[in-house]
Amino acid sequence: MSDKFDLCIIGGGPAGFAGAIRALDLGKHVCIVEADEIGGTGVMWGALSSKTMWELAKDYDIAAKVDRGYRSAGLIVDYAAVRNTVIQAVKEKQYQMLSQLETYSPMRWKGPGSITFKRGRGTFLSRECIEVTNEDGRQEEIKADFSLICTGSKPRDFPHVTVDQKRILNSDGILNLKEFPKRLVIIGAGIVGCEYATIFSNFDQTKVFLVDHQERIIPFEDEDVSRFVSTNLKKNNVDIFHSAILRSINTRPDHLEVILDFDDGHSEVVEADAALISIGRTPNLAGLNLDRIGLTTDDIGFLTCDENCLVKDNIYAAGDCTDAYHVVTGEKTWIPLALRANRAGWAVADNICGKDAKLSGVAGTAVFKVFDLEVARTGLAVDEAKKFGFEPVKVTIKTRSRAHAHPGASVIHVQMVGDKKTGRLLGAQMVGKEGVAHRINAVAVALHNQMTVKDYSQTDLAYAPPFGPTWDPTLTAANQLLKKI
């Protein structure tokens, strides 16, 4: 005998959870199937866990400072304690989510709709039938009018390197470490690599080596931004290897040998106690039996869906396992971030209830921290803009995060890109110690509205000395950019 639902959601990360709660709001009977940890990457192995660790590392770094004329005595830190604090934060969020699910379980909730939570791995038997296999191997079948695939993404593997999650880790295994490694090699200097370089370096127990095969770190950012962040990492004792390709990692009883081949022909062996492979992510759709329901993935491996997040017939997809339209290029893109996942899950629930929720797309707006710097971007950098047929021009300006005479101000760099042909605003990147995250959001809104640089330069942005100069840094950048368009 199989249970019958209006909507079956496979995956309980940000996309799946948002979809479940919204469908419940709309009076639907929902089943959510989660194979592992409720909250998915978003809670356990991603935004929440990494940022909690980041905060702890920053607190430690501040406490350990010796340049203020006083110092804390007897400061000690051990990895087990850090790990426990991170897990506590994760568990708190998970209990909150599980409590919501239990409150609306059909056994308790007498209102319209309900949520049934099933722990197990889902796979399609047909478009209306999903098989769930739990940890003990017990199987059951679920029938549903609609299905929502929210199986997220997973860390990309490096060819010929086996991640054992003990000494050779990816971001899913960071919490497996038993102690701070004395030496950590991070392969891949993207956002995740730079964040963990900051975390381990701030705890001051680990010598961090950051390796990227490109000439510059955070290679998707513009050159100026990359250089600025690179200088900051070096200043904080992170050794960076540019243009270095990982050949292999040899595991010795008491250390790892990381062999790097450089563009100029020479090779180096770096000894380390642990290695973190952070070379990006890849959609996670394995084991769903997609071919059985007539679905295929694109070349990169994600499911293609339309503006309503519909893949085909009664099957929808949301979050990191699927693509989105880019608001600047109008083309399909894959930018795995949590807000989009939430929003798409929510939209699917609306759509199965006949609300026609179309998503306009993503601008790739992201912000992260490297030591005391906020680094943010939205839209296109110059190189990307060229690939899409724009005639990009850019300016980079350096100004202050607060009004000139206001105490506590710091330098803020803004780079803005516009299209010479149309005057359209194409993107911005920013680096500074404060005020970067909210400023990038203003530019993101402009991109969603296809504004020109001139339009943006005329926007009425807030001013008060503690928060910014009279001319917000993004306005100054737009004014300068106008001269080139």
Ligand X SMILES: Cc1cc2nc3c(=O)[nH]c(=O)nc-3n(C[C@H](O)[C@H](O)[C@H](O)COP(=O)(O)OP(=O)(O)OC[C@H]3O[C@@H](n4cnc5c(N)ncnc54)[C@H](O)[C@@H]3O)c2cc1C
Least distance in angstroms from the C-beta of 407 to ligand X: 30
Q: 248 Cβ partners below 8 Å, 6+ apart?
A: 160, 161, 259
Nearer to ligand X, 91 or 454 (CB): 91
Q: What secondary structure does DSSP assign to 309-320, as a single string?
A: -EEETTEEE-GG
Nearer to ligand X, 11 or 468 (CB): 11
How far is the C-alpha of 312 from the C-alpha of 295, rounded, in Å?
8
β-pair type (207-211, 239-241): parallel
**Which strands form 256-262's sheet, in the order they lie side by side?**
244-251, 256-262, 267-272
Least distance in angstroms from the C-beta of 284 to ligand X: 6
How far is the C-alpha of 265 from the C-alpha of 225, rounded, in Å?
28
Rg (CA), the chain: 24
Nearer to ligand X, 437 or 482 (CB): 437
Q: What secondary structure does DSSP assign to 400-435, as a single string?
A: ESS-TTSTT--EEEEEEEEETTT-BEEEEEEEESSS
Least distance in angstroms from the C-beta of 333 to ligand X: 14
Helix (H, G, I), strand (E, B) or coil at 75: coil
The DSSP secondary-structure symbol of 68 reads T
Least distance in angstroms from the C-beta of 130 to ligand X: 9
Least distance in angstroms from the C-beta of 399 to ligand X: 26
Nearer to ligand X, 11 or 188 (CB): 11
Q: Which amino acid, 56?
A: L
Element of type H or E holding 262: strand 256-262
Nearer to ligand X, 301 or 465 (CB): 301
β-pair type (153-155, 281-283): antiparallel
Binding-site ranges for ligand X (CB under 6 A): 10-16, 33-37, 40-42, 45-47, 50, 121-122, 150-153, 171, 192, 284, 287-288, 319-320, 336-339, 341
Spacing of C-alpha 465 from chain mean position:
32
Nearer to ligand X, 171 or 476 (CB): 171
Nearer to ligand X, 152 or 418 (CB): 152
Least distance in angstroms from the C-beta of 466 to ligand X: 26
Least distance in angstroms from the C-beta of 104 to ligand X: 19
How far is the C-alpha of 57 from the C-alpha of 283, rounded, in Å?
30
β-pair type (274-277, 168-169): parallel
How far is the C-alpha of 247 from the C-alpha of 260, rounded, in Å?
6
Helix (H, G, I), strand (E, B) or coil at 98: helix
Nearer to ligand X, 44 or 395 (CB): 44
Nearer to ligand X, 172 or 307 (CB): 172
Residue 381's Cβ-side half-sphere holds a number of Cα atoms within 13 Å equal to 16
Nearer to ligand X, 280 or 423 (CB): 280
How buried is residue 129: exposed, middle or buried, by Cβ count under 10 Å (0-12/13-18/19+)? middle
Q: Which amino acid, 473?
A: P
Least distance in angstroms from the C-beta of 438 to ligand X: 15
How far is the C-alpha of 89 from the C-alpha of 54, rounded, in Å?
13
Least distance in angstroms from the C-beta of 195 to ligand X: 7
Query: HEC string of 180-248?
Result: CCCEEEEECCCHHHHHHHHHHHHCCCCEEEEECCCCCCCCCCCHHHHHHHHHHHHHCCCEEECCEEEEE
Contact 11, 94 (CB under 8 A): no
How far is the C-alpha of 101 from the C-alpha of 93, rounded, in Å?
13
Least distance in angstroms from the C-beta of 16 to ligand X: 6
Least distance in angstroms from the C-beta of 445 to ligand X: 17
Nearer to ligand X, 50 or 201 (CB): 50
